[in-house]
């Protein structure tokens, strides 16, 4: 049986191109998953691999759909080899039935890991540069220090946290975070 696996990282992405390619490649069944490639816990992929049998073929649109971590992908590949399942990647032109296919598989995995590492380094460098300029990651605080001081005074004056949340148009959990009960 020829089985396809398509994955995207977020709900804002779709698998349409992957699905079209997998069906054109002869996949009889295609499974889809929305999960980060860095996340090793992908239940659909685990289920697909568990249900494949000797002689089956797992087809991917691209090798990085299996994951971004080289070690994790190699371990998954080892499971496939042990079960007698073939692996094919459409866009990477990899078919592990041949020595060159296995060689290309390992090279492409190394390149994908390198790309992932570079992206991570660039992100960290960008965050560090922004921090030096006084910019911080995350959402801009809705309330200033003086707003929180005023909220604290309101609380001391007997105004409820719920009323404070309404007054500043913030969530009640935010009020409890900055003005805890033992405060």
User: According to the model, what pLDDT value does residue 183 have?
Assistant: 53
Residues involved in catalysis: 9
| Tokens matching residue 11 | 């709900």
Give the residue from 68, 70, 76, 71 showing the smallest Cα distance to 36.
68
User: According to the model, what pLDDT value does residue 57 have?
Assistant: 97
Confidence of residue 138 (pLDDT cuts 50, 70, 90): confident
Give the rounded percent of residues in the chain with a pLDDT score beyond 90.
56
| Pairwise CA distance, residues 61 & 37, whole Å | 14
Domain ranges of the chain: 2-128, 145-178
| Pairwise CA distance, residues 115 & 52, whole Å | 30
* pTM for the structure as a whole: 0.65
Domain 2-128, what fold?
Rossmann fold (3.40.50)
User: According to the model, what pLDDT value does residue 11 have?
Assistant: 76
pLDDT tens per residue, range 140-153: 788 999 999 999 99
pLDDT tens per residue, range 95-137: 999 888 889 888 888 887 888 889 889 999 988 888 888 877 7
How big is the chain, counted in residues? Answer: 183
User: According to the model, what pLDDT value does residue 116 have?
Assistant: 80
Tell the residue number behind the tokens 């991570």, with chain if given: 120
Which of 124 and 70 is assigned the larger pLDDT?
Answer: 124
User: According to the model, what pLDDT value does residue 1 have?
Assistant: 96
Q: What is the mean pLDDT of residues 51-80?
A: 90
User: According to the model, what pLDDT value does residue 14 have?
Assistant: 87
Residue-averaged pLDDT of the chain? 90
For CA atoms 96, 57, 47, 29, give the dihedral sign: positive
Q: What is the mean pLDDT of residues 80-100?
A: 92
């Amino acid at each position: 049986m020829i089985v396809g696996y398509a994955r995207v990282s977020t709900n804002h992405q779709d698998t349409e191109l992957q699905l079209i390619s997998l069906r054109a490649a002869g996949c009889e069944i295609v499974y889809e998953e929305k999960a980060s490639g860095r996340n090793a816990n992908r239940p659909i992929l685990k289920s697909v691999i568990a249900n494949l049998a000797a002689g089956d073929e797992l087809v991917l649109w691209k090798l990085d759909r299996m994951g971004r971590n080289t070690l994790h992908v190699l371990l998954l590949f080892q499971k496939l080899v042990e079960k007698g399942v073939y692996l094919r990647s459409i866009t990477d032109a990899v078919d592990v039935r041949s020595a060159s296919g296995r060689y290309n598989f390992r090279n492409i995995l190394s390149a994908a890991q390198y790309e992932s590492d570079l992206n991570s380094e660039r992100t960290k460098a960008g965050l560090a540069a922004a921090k030096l300029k006084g910019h911080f990651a995350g959402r801009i605080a809705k309330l200033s220090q003086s707003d929180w001081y005023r909220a604290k005074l309101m609380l001391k004056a007997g105004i409820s946290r719920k009323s404070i949340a309404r007054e500043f148009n913030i969530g009640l959990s935010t009020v409890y975070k900055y003005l805890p009960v033992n405060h």
